[in-house]
Structure 1
Amino acid sequence: MKAGVLFGVNDIRYVDFPDPEYGEDDVIVEVKACGVCGSDPPRILKKWKYNLPAIPGHEISGVIVEKGPKVKNIEIGDRVAVVPFIPCGKCDNCLRGNFSLCDDYDMLGANLYGGFAEYVKVPSSNVLNIGDIDFEIAAMIEPLAVALHGVLGIRPTLGDTVAIMGSGILGQLVLLWLKICGVGDIIAVDISDKKLAEAKMLGATTCINAKEKDPVEEILKLTSNKGVDIAFECAGSTITQEQCLLITRKKGKIAYLGIAYSDIHLSEKAFESIFRKELTLKGFWNSYSAPFPGQEWYKSISYLKNKSINLESMITHRFELSKIKEAFDMIANKREEYNKIIIIP
């Protein structure tokens, strides 16, 4: 098969690669679309920590073309979304149903070959039927489930005022779920006018460009100096990670979804906000719960099927698999601003 193979840091090439071979409980998925996750560029361009050569890509949709003799839950020809996370099923966290916190998991697109390829081997337990959902949209089910994992975990209520710090794909998906939960007052913060425009179109009531205005001052003004009920950190920035502590009201909640890429040093004021305001801080990792892969995935598919969520406007770039290097060169050189990038074999 052809695949986008990573041979070293910032060295991804379109080459021939051995076809995957399935076991008795596996399926082979012909990849129709694979999204570029926000975690992919830092790992591919700067710091890959798994074995090489590797095939990245974990936001996968496609068609079942082969299956092992013990596979009963899916048929050849079925259109599926791939669940990239493979928990061990044996550790204490798995036995409690906390699959996202598995102590010994595997991951497609990391330590296992992923979706930047024509075919990928997947355990049969890790594919979900998508019916007639478009393949490009289905490739976004994984990040949609990640966003829902955070929203369900922080438990917004009617009447809450919520700030989303970072209005990229993750922040936009959080915004969509907040609207479905009945949250009406949503403040979107970013440094990109394009991403803020997208957030506005998706239902944000107020947008703040942090390059032009101090978001902490603006949010406190908007909330009569009280702060928001909930702050979502979706940028993975040391700046927004600290700002969340300053914009949240007393007894408020903060949901940390963005990945930390460097050490975080808090100001005295920010740290004191944690205990002086008795804040609740919660982190959310991945998107999995019991029964595996969890309601985050089943609800995401259901809401896409009934058209309650529309993700099409978020896709800004499509690259054929043969142009995988050009896609990551564009990201590395910051030649164009992008939202969701889809790789199409």
Structure 2
Amino acid sequence: MKAGVLYGVNDIRYTDFDDPVCGENDVIIKVKACGICGSDYPRILKKWKYNLPAIPGHEFSGVIVAKGEKAQNVNMGDRVVAVPLVSCNRCDNCLAGNFSLCDNYKMLGADLYGGFAEYVRVPSTNVIKIGNIDFESAAMIEPLAVALHGILGIKPNIGDTVAVMGSGTLGQLVMQWLKIGGIYNIIAVDISTDKLNKAKSLGAKACINAKEKDPVEEISKLTREKGVDITFECAGSTVTQEQSLLVTRKKGKVSYLGIAYSDILLSEKAFESIFRKELTLKGFWNSYSAPFPGQEWYRSIDFLKNDLINLESLISHRFELSKIREAVDLVISEKEDYNKIMILPK
């Protein structure tokens, strides 16, 4: 088969690769669409920590073209989404249903070969039928479930005022879930005009360009110096990680969803906000709960089937698999804004 194979830091090539071999409990998926996750870029470009050569890509959907004799939950030709986390099902966290916190998990697109390929081997327990959901939208079910995992965990209330720090794909998905949950007073923060325009189209009541105005000052004005009820940190930036503590009201809550890309040194004021305002800080990792893969995945699929979530409009670029190098270079160059980038094997 053809695949986008990573041989070293920033060395990804479109090349021939061995076809996957189907085990008795596995299926082989012909990949129809695979999104590039925000976590893929730093791993590919800076610090890949898994075995090489590797095939990245964990947000993918496709069609089952082979199945093992013990794979009884799916049929040949089923349209499916892949659940990338392969849990051990033995550790204390798995036994407690906390699959996101599995001590010994493997991840498709990292430890295991992923979706930047024509075909992928996946455990049959890690596929879910998608019905008539289009393949590109289905490839975004994983980040949609990640966003919902954070929403369900922080428990917003109807009428809350919420700040979303970082209005990229993850922030946009959080905003859509918030609106579904009855949260309409949303303040979106970003440094990209395009992303803020998208946030506005998704229902953000106020949009703050952090290149032009201080979000802490602006949110203070918008909330009459009280601060927001909940802040969702979705950028993974040291700046927004600190600002999240400053814009949240007393007894408020902060949900950290963005991946940390570097160390963070908090100012005295930011750190003291944690205890002086008695903030609740919670982090959310992955998207899984019991029964595996969890309500985050099944609800995401249900809402997509009922056209209550808009994913297609979040895609800014599409590349054929043969152009995987160009897709990565788009991110490196920083010559244009991008949102969700989709890789499409033929």
Q: Which amino acid aligns with 1:307?
A: D
Partners in 1 of 2:190 and 2:184 — Cα distance?
19
State the match for 1:36 in structure 2: 36
Deviation of 1:310 (Å): 1.3
Q: Does 1:113 align with 2:133?
A: no
Q: Which sections of structure 2, spanning at least 5 residues, go unmatched?
A: none
Q: CA RMSD in A?
A: 0.5
Partners in 1 of 2:154 and 2:194 — Cα distance?
27
State the match for 1:328 in structure 2: 328
State the match for 2:236 in structure 1: 236
Question: Structure 1-normalised TM-score?
Answer: 1.00
Q: Does 1:126 align with 2:129?
A: no
1:177-218, Cα deviation, whole Å (9 max, x unpaired): 000000010000000000000000011000000000000000
Q: Helix, strand or coil for the counterpart of 1:64?
A: strand
Partners in 2 of 1:85 and 1:269 — Cα distance?
38
Deviation of 1:81 (Å): 0.4
State the match for 1:27 in structure 2: 27
Q: Helix, strand or coil for the counterpart of 2:54?
A: coil
Displaced runs of 4 or more, over 2 A: none
Q: Give the percent of matched residue pairs that are identical in Structure 1 and Structure 2.
A: 76
State the match for 2:246 in structure 1: 246
In terms of mean alpha carbon deviation, does 146-155 or 335-344 score higher? 335-344
In terms of mean alpha carbon deviation, does 98-107 or 333-342 score higher? 333-342
Question: Structure 2-normalised TM-score?
Answer: 0.99
Deviation of 1:47 (Å): 1.1
Q: Which amino acid aligns with 2:113?
A: Y
Deviation of 1:335 (Å): 2.5
Partners in 2 of 1:249 and 1:19 — Cα distance?
54
Partners in 2 of 1:117 and 1:311 — Cα distance?
22
Q: Which sections of structure 1, spanning at least 5 residues, go unmatched?
A: none
Partners in 2 of 1:269 and 1:310 — Cα distance?
38
1:206-249, Cα deviation, whole Å (9 max, x unpaired): 00000000000000110010000000000000000000100000
Q: Helix, strand or coil for the counterpart of 1:282?
A: strand
1:136-162, Cα deviation, whole Å (9 max, x unpaired): 110000000000000000000011000
Partners in 1 of 2:122 and 2:203 — Cα distance?
36
State the match for 2:187 in structure 1: 187
State the match for 2:102 in structure 1: 102
Q: Helix, strand or coil for the counterpart of 1:19?
A: coil
Q: Helix, strand or coil for the counterpart of 1:198?
A: helix
Q: Does 1:88 align with 2:96?
A: no
Q: Helix, strand or coil for the counterpart of 1:38?
A: coil
State the match for 2:225 in structure 1: 225
Deviation of 1:10 (Å): 0.6
Deviation of 1:343 (Å): 0.2
1:77-135, Cα deviation, whole Å (9 max, x unpaired): 00000000011000000000000000000000001000000000000000000000000
